[in-house]
Chain A
Amino acid sequence: GAVVSQHPSWVICKSGTSVKIECRSLDFQATTMFWYRQFPKQSLMLMATSNEGSKATYEQGVEKDKFLINHASLTLSTLTVTSAHPEDSSFYICSARDRAMGEQYFGPGTRLTVT
C-alpha cells in the first residue's frame, strides 16, 4: 500500500528555537497534504491543509506565522514550528491524498518535545 513517511520521528528542542518536520509520500503523488497535532488521549486536530504550489489554508486558531507550511512538490510538505515553546510539545501527524485515486494516507507521526 501507499506509504507516507515523516522525519524526524521524534525531536527535542529548546524553547525559542525552530523545528522542521518533513512529510513525504513515497510511492504516489499528493496534491493535498494535511497537518494534524494530537495531545495525549485526545483526537487529532487538523491544523492546516496544503496544496502543492499554493499557500496553506489554516484552521481557525492556528497561527500561520508560527506553524509555517511549505508544499513545494507533489511528494513533500514541511511544517516548521517557529520559536517553539513548551506548549507546542505534541504529536504532529501528516497525511497525504493520492492525486490519482483520492485515497488518504497518514504518516507515522513526529513527537516534538520543547524544553
Chain B
Amino acid sequence: LAKTTQPISMDSYEGQEVNITCSHNNIATNDYITWYQQFPSQGPRFIIQGYKTKVTNEVASLFIPADRKSSTLSLPRVSLSDTAVYYCLVGDRGFGGGFKTIFGAGTRLFVKA
C-alpha cells in the first residue's frame, strides 16, 4: 500500500482557493488517488477520485502530474463550513473486493472569516 504524506494543518480565509498537496512516491500502476473530507464526529465523505491529469467535480478539482507521485486537491473559494480534516488515500479501487483503505494523518484545514 502506498504511503501518503500531507501537511498536518493549513489555515485559509473565506473566499480563497485552497490547495492541499499529497505525496505518494511509491504509488503503484493500478492505484487511484481518493480524497475524503471529515467533520468532527462524522464519517469521512468522498470528495473526488482520479488516476491521472485533472479531475473536476462540483466541489473540487484534483491535479495529478504525469509521474503520479503527488496530487493536489484544490478547493475553490472556501467557506467556514469547509473547516475539516482532509485525507488523501492511494490504492487499487478493488473491484470485487481486495485492498484495504488505510488512512494517513490527514490535513486539518481551518478557514477563518
Contacts and interface: CB of A to CB of B under 8 A. Distances in A.
Interface of A: 4, 6, 31-32, 34, 36, 43-46, 49, 51, 91, 93, 95, 97, 99, 101-109, 111
Nearest to A32: B97
Contacts of A43: 87, 103-106
Contacts of A108: 42-43
Interface residues of B, number: 21
Contacts of B45: 106
A51 B102 contact: no
A22 B94 CA distance: 23
Chain A contact residues: over half helix, strand or loop, or mixed? Answer: strand
A81 to B, nearest CB: 18
B93 interface: yes
Closest 8 CB pairs of A and B: A106-B43, A102-B95, A32-B97, A44-B103, A102-B93, A31-B97, A43-B103, A106-B44
Interface string B82-113: 00000100000111111011111110000000
Contact of B102 (A46, A99, A104, A105): A46
Contacts of B42: 108-109
Chain A CB within 10 A, most for which of B41, B43, B87, B104: B43
Contacts of A44: 44, 87, 103
B13 interface: no
A107 B41 CA distance: 11
Contacts of B94: 32, 97, 102, 104
B36 to A, nearest CB: 8
Contacts of B44: 44, 93, 95, 106
